[in-house]
Amino acid sequence: MSSTHPGPADPEAADAAGLRARTAALLAAHDPATTPRLDFLRARFDAGLAWVHFPAGLGGLGAPRALQPVVDAELAAAGAPGNDPRRIGIGLGMAAPTLLQYGTDEQKRRFLRPLWTGEEVWCQLFSEPGAGSDLAALATRAVRDGDGWRVDGQKVWTSSAHLARWAILLARTDPTVPKHAGLTYFVCDMTDPGVEVRPLRQITGEAEFNEVFLTGVRVPDAHRLGAVGEGWRVARTTLMNERVAIGGSAEPGTPGGTRETGLLGLVADTWRAHPELRTHDLHQRLLRLWVEAEAARLTGERLRQQLRRGRPGPEGSGLKLSFARLNQELSGLEVELLAEDGLAYGDWTMTRPEVVDFTGRDAGYRYLRAKGNSIEGGTSEVLLNIVAERVLGLPPEPRTDKDLPWKDLPR
């Protein structure tokens, strides 16, 4: 499949002045005060101001990525509507960069515009009951069927599946080769017959995630990303962007945020409001976490600057690790500071939130929700391996199943 770009970079838009002029023209033609939100977002995409580093015709102008804040600042000052990135984070943070790198021109034209405007929500059909941490061991099968594929299997821990129109799907197409070599990457229509979504209730009582059952789902070959058997290579692009999206945008190390942003701020406020609960030990713990949270925030800012220069590196895995551990330690300290009040839990009613709110509700909720931080987006154990091998350059762990055909692996 080809992945040529539809147009060259626009030299007039390659600097800040050119982008400001284009943004002013957009605002003049589509006054945010009178233009419906969706119409404005579509116009922004068509003007190449959605993500300026994308190619012309695909929401961008081929301009340096570092210039995106120039556009964002101009639009924010004018009161222009945004595209709600928290609600469509999987599409923006994972599907879009993968489509850009591996999609055909037709796939990019079809999917990117409604993805960016939020007209079409995306989810990620990767994890399975028997293949979460070891994603390459997944068992969902895709079998060639004429000009398409028949897909059967089960996915789990799928965010936004109940809202999604499209999914990025990793499936096994050849069980006779080692596990990493027999995978292929697809785009799956979540409205097709055979797709069943069931809520998965969490320890908090809510159901952010889903189980997804795929029974005889037909996926056209035109919805394949990358070559047959090259799915693991494509998935690595998605996973790398996923960890950056989670680690680089969530509390307490929020890039662009201020000190005491997010959960750290809540814990610090609790400390200040309850002097009667303070002990020397708790004070030392709070100080240590404050310093670590500030280091995470600055690391997130460095990662954001790296992203402006190009593709994310394995540093995102380290930041995601830090985010999970800090959230769990901070939420635990908050419960301790509040003593019995920290154990109170306001509402166990099952809800289906469209966005994850790590700092919402009460301390009891935050403590329970933080438990998932070390599982979602790659377990901490897997991320430690990535940091050890790709950042520190340590020898890899022995993998006795690396060269065995997937069908011969014990399951």
pLDDT on residue 252: 45
pLDDT for the residue numbered 11: 55
pLDDT tens per residue across span 358-395? 887 899 999 999 998 888 877 888 888 888 988 889 99
Per residue, the 3-state secondary structure of the chain, as one string, reads CCCCCCCCCCHHHCCHHHHHHHHHHHHHHCCCCCCCHHHHHHHHHHCCCCCCCCCECCCECCCCHHHHHHHHHHHHHCCCCCCCCCCCHHHHHHHHHHHHHHCCHHHHHHHHHHHHHCCCCEEEECCECCECCCHHHCCCEEEEECCEEEEEEEECCCCCCCCCCEEEEEEECCCCCEHHHCEEEEEEECCCCCEEEEEECCCCCCCCEEEEEEEEEEEEHHHEECCCCCHHHHHHHHHHHHHHHHHCCCCCCCCCCCCCCCHHHHHHHHHHHCHHHCCHHHHHHHHHHHHHHHHHHHHHHHHHHHHHHCCCCCHHHHHHHHHHHHHHHHHHHHHHHHHHHHHCCCCCCCCCCCCCCCCCCCHHHHHHHHHHHHCCCCCHHHHHHHHHHHHCCCCCCCCCCCCCEHHHCCC
The pLDDT assigned to 316 comes to 75
Q: Which of 206, 208, 242, 315 is catalytic?
A: 242
122-229 falls under which CATH superfamily?
Answer: Butyryl-CoA Dehydrogenase, subunit A, domain 2 (2.40.110.10)
* The pLDDT of residue 2: 37
The reported pTM is 0.84
List every span in the chain annotated with CATH 1.20.140.10: 248-392
Say whether 251 is catalytic: no
Q: pLDDT tens across 249-265, in order?
A: 544 444 446 777 788 99
Domain 248-392, CATH: 1.20.140.10
Which residues of the chain are under the pLDDT cut of 50?
Answer: 1-8, 250-256
Q: Where in the chain is the domain with CATH 2.40.110.10?
A: 122-229
